Structure 1
């Protein structure tokens, strides 16, 4: 059996609370690796506890990169991530260390292994105009505008999908081209086929859901409420990715006195379980090259070097 450390890069994916971080940490310790975040929420500095980022003690054991390096006010995208990962990968390879990409964001893994559509960054002033329209006129009006300017995109999107409707309008406003045109143009992958080993950690569903619920309670007791309270006080755009992290909207409603703590926890747990279910489905259909394994079997790949 080939050790994971025999590969040029290792990709460890899986649903939230599946034990990915512990596996990556153990592999990095044994193989002299660098743990590289591949989770779209763990990039945010403001949400260490609620996104279950590695603890400072864990980060001190081996190098951890692309964790908590982005402010919540930034609309961090897959394009931003690939640019950061490309620079980091060059550094890791120069050091002759094993890059270990670990996380649960399927789009980031797909961008690493398949390439990414080259959508130019949207200027802040364009984004602000579109978001003002959204607040003033409502999502249905924006969907109608999108239907006039990009009928194909409007037909694909749910009329209530605020984020994606706004994004499609921002791109066509900034570039004059529909989002689908940009998606047809793809950059080369950072990790082409044959340059990596990819695992998807797939725990038994009921056990995973029980772990998600228990972990959410632990996060609440461990400072997540304080994090969200500080975040809410900043008055950021609710459409920013960090403001939509699992648990954040419900906990903000609790902080404002709109719902009870128990109701907020119930919503946060349910949102996280639903997300885990979507992660299983997404990886099965979008990245079939990932090897599916149980958490127990995955540990068999981590052997002393």
Structure 2
């Protein structure tokens, strides 16, 4: 059998607060790697604290492509990411280096590797009407409607996930076909890189939960509320934007609206982050071809280095 002649690329995946960035930077010190962020929140400028964005010193020493490339008023899609990531990957390969894509947005990893379904473009009129309906009858009622029209999609979309729920109903209206049916067909050209997948999956979920709580407390201490207040003060941002719906930002926006106090902000922010981590872990467990590492076990960096050496064929 002929060997795979595609250039190499590495996916470093894991739930939030699992130590992906630290490991990526450590690996870059030993291998000719270019880091590419796979994070739906890190793309936004001015959203640094609540996204746990690497600080300026880290980014100067270990540059990450696809960080700070959008204003929060500009939505960023999986299709946008796929196009941008392939440009960054090709630049890395052309320079004789290896792209390492690091992050926790499973949809982006999947879109990059498997391509995107042939879905219609967003329709502003349909979306506005669905939003108006939701304001009248509630998103839970729209979720019940989706369950009748596309039970497969409804099973994986939470009733309070307004963005995905709206999109699923929009697709049905525009195409007359269920979103799950269109997505099952797959689409797009195969990724022209051979990929090593590394997944950080904590064996003890309680340790990850503690890390999430500690990190959210640090965000509050570092000025998360002030950061969101500055975003609100712009006047052109609102809670329905994908950037503001990001975990931590939505809860802080509601706190600044006066809907609850600081203790409840902390509780809600930590809970939402834990739920995000749970969804990320569930997705990662479906990536059966990934090399799994427990980020809390000693020797993580050495084990990851060994996997890269074997994959890249270096000594």
TM-score (norm 2): 0.82
Could you tell me which residue of structure 2 aligns to residue 208 of structure 1?
Answer: 208
Report the equivalent of 1:3: none
Any gaps of 5 or more consecutive residues in structure 2? 1-6
Asked if 2 retains the 8 angstrom alpha-carbon contact of 1:28 and 1:98, the reply is no
Return the offset for 1:142. 4.1
Q: Secondary structure at the match of 1:12?
A: strand
Q: Partner residue of 1:302?
A: 305
Distance 1:147 1:267 in 2: 27
Separation in structure 2 between the aligned mates of residue 237 and residue 282 of structure 1, nearest angstrom = 29
User: Matches of 2:212 and 2:93 in 1, distance apart?
Assistant: 35
Identify the residue that residue 197 of structure 1 maps to in structure 2. Answer: 196
- 2:98 alignment counterpart: 98
How far apart are residue 143 of structure 1 and its match?
4.9
Correspondences of 1:62-101 after superposition (within 5 Å): 62-101=62-101
Deviations 1:175-225 (A, max 9, x none): 555423431242133256xx1211111233222211111111111121321
Q: Displacement, 1:57?
A: 0.8
- Displacement after TM superposition at 1:174 (Å): 4.3
Residue range with higher mean Cα deviation, 31-40 or 132-141: 132-141
1:60 alignment counterpart: 60
Task: Note the alpha carbon deviations across 1:129-154, whole angstroms, 9 max, x for none.
Answer: 43334334533564576578x45567
SS of the residue aligned with 1:9? strand
Q: Is the 8 A contact 1:134 1:166 kept in 2?
A: no
Map residues 85-234 of structure 1 onto 2, 5 A cutoff.
85-139=85-139, 142-143=142-143, 150=149, 156=155, 161-175=161-175, 177-183=177-183, 184-190=185-191, 195-203=194-202, 204-233=204-233, 234=235
| Paired residue total | 295
Provide the residue aligned with 2:43 in structure 1. Answer: 43
Asked if structure 2 preserves the Cα contact closer than 8 Å seen for 1:122 and 1:174, the reply is no
Instruction: Indicate the SS of the match to 1:243.
Output: coil
How many Å separate the matches in 2 of 1:158 and 1:53? 27
Inter-partner Cα distance in structure 1 for 2:243 and 2:255: 17
CA distance in 2, matches of 1:160, 1:211: 26
1:48–1:68 CA contact under 8 A, matched in 2: no
Instruction: Provide closer, same or farther for how the CA distance between residues 297 and 107 of structure 1 changes in structure 2, counting only shifts above 3 A.
Output: farther
Change (3 A) 1:21 1:182: same
Q: TM-score, normalized by length of structure 1?
A: 0.85
- Residues 82, 111 of structure 2: 8 Å contact kept: yes
Distance 1:288 1:140 in 2: 33
Structure 1 range deviating more: 75-84 or 163-172: 163-172
Structure ranking higher in helix proportion: 1
Q: Distance in 2 between matches of 1:185 and 1:202?
A: 27
Structure 2 distance, partners of 1:115, 1:151, is: 22
* Aligned equivalent of 2:3: none
Contiguous gaps of at least 5 residues in structure 1: 1-6
Kindly tell me: are residues 280 and 48 of structure 1, through their superposed partners in 2, closer, same or farther at Cα, counting changes over 3 Å? Answer: same
Q: 1:174 to 1:56 in 2, by over 3 A?
A: farther
